[in-house]
Amino acid sequence: MSDFEIVVTGADELIARFRKAPEIVKAEMIKGVDRLTFAGQATSQKEAPVDTGNLRRSITQTKASFAGGSVSGAWGTNVPYAYYAENGRGAGKMPPAGAFPAGFVGTVAARSLSSDVPSVARAPRANTSCKKAACSCSPA
């Protein structure tokens, strides 16, 4: 009835490659989220205010992981004053307990009364990214 014939060669190889696709996509998603969290960590460290350098050093990333059909990773810090470094403490609010070493507040107050010593108060830096951040992606 027909004058032509279709011959498919290599179909088994093509099927085998398609079966590997989910693992390849998963690996690429993990790489992408790792790159994203590394960039977030680098930006956060660059933008964090520096006094002793502890805040910058404390900003780390976690390696991306695959669970439940999605990839997730995070970066951030665990130092208790990071929130205040980023957002300030608000008008009229006292610093958190233990924020200053013993005797520091009295010493600073005495120095700031002197006209030749500049004030040690600093405004918080805007747009620092030192709070915990996370990213994730899922295949569509």
Q: For residues 48 and 118, which has the higher predicted lDDT (pLDDT)?
A: 48
pLDDT number for residue 113: 42
Residue 120 reports pLDDT greater than 90: no
Given a cut of 50, is residue 126 above it in pLDDT? no
Average pLDDT over residues 120-138: 45
Confidence band of 111 (pLDDT split at 50, 70, 90): very low
pLDDT at position 138: 52
pLDDT for residue 46:
92
Do you know the residue count of the chain?
A: 140
Q: Measured between alpha carbons, how far is 56 from 69 in angstroms, rounded to an integer?
A: 33
Q: What is the pLDDT of residues 52-104, one digit of tens each?
A: 889 999 999 999 999 988 999 999 999 988 888 888 777 777 766 666 665 55
Contacts for 69 with CB less than 8 Å, ≥ 6 apart: 138, 139
pLDDT given at position 19: 92
130 vs 138: which has the higher pLDDT: 138
The count of C-alpha atoms lying within 13 angstroms of the C-alpha of 119, restricted to the half-sphere facing its C-beta, is 3
pLDDT in tens, 29-60: 999 999 999 999 999 999 888 888 899 999 99
CA gap 62, 73 in Å, rounded: 6
